Amino acid sequence: MKSCPCNSGLPYAECCEPYIRGIKKPPTAEALMRSRYSAYAEHAIDYIIETCLREEGRQAIDAKQTRNWSEQSQWLGLRILSVTRGGPEDDDGVVEFEATYERNGLRDVHHEQGQFRRVEGQWFYEDGEVAPKTVVRAGPKIGRNDPCPCGSGKKYKHCHGR
């Protein structure tokens, strides 16, 4: 059975999948945050758009570009750092998290304090404050005079290093 991408330790079918497929609604801000991360990992971009609170937030997402980014990334894990409010009886909450992924040989950690709001019993992502972090190269750096990793036999500077 497939593990849930959100790192809950539960099977995907018992964790975030029912939320992403619209079978159930996330009961807490943290559950919504976890399901949104899993939606990126599962390339369910419509869910990302639908769970934005504001119309302008939904319109600001370029679905095609976001889907490409989602599909071209390797999703490495979600870590919940803190949760303030956001329970089943609350109407707002903050979830601080780190989402780790790798794309084009670069590993990145997206660190954010996400603001969530419950409207008519349903949780939505309202806004977030991103804490910038240094991108760390996943593999060794290729020198200009090293052989090009594409296998052409040329030096990197004469092939893909231009």
Domain 12-131 has CATH 1.20.1260.10: no
Phi-psi region of 99 (alpha: psi -120 to 50; beta: other; left: phi over 0): beta
User: What does the pLDDT average to over 130-146?
Assistant: 73
Q: What is the pTM of this model?
A: 0.79
Is-contact 30 8, C-beta < 8 A? no
Predicted pLDDT at 133 = 60
- Residue range 37-62, pLDDT digits in tens: 999 999 999 999 999 998 777 888 89
* pLDDT of the residue at 114: 96
pLDDT at 159 exceeding the cut of 90: no
Looking at residue 135, its pLDDT comes to: 60
The pLDDT assigned to 134 comes to 61
* Tens-place pLDDT, residues 70-80: 999 999 999 99
132 pLDDT tier (thresholds 50, 70, 90)? low
Report yes or no: 143 and 156 within 8 Å, Cβ to Cβ. yes
In SS3 terms, 81-121 reads as EEEEECCCCCCEEEEEEEEEEEECCEEEEEEEEEEEEEECC
Sorted by sequence, the CB contacts under 8 Å of residue 22 that are 6+ apart come out as none
Gyration radius of the chain over CA positions: 19
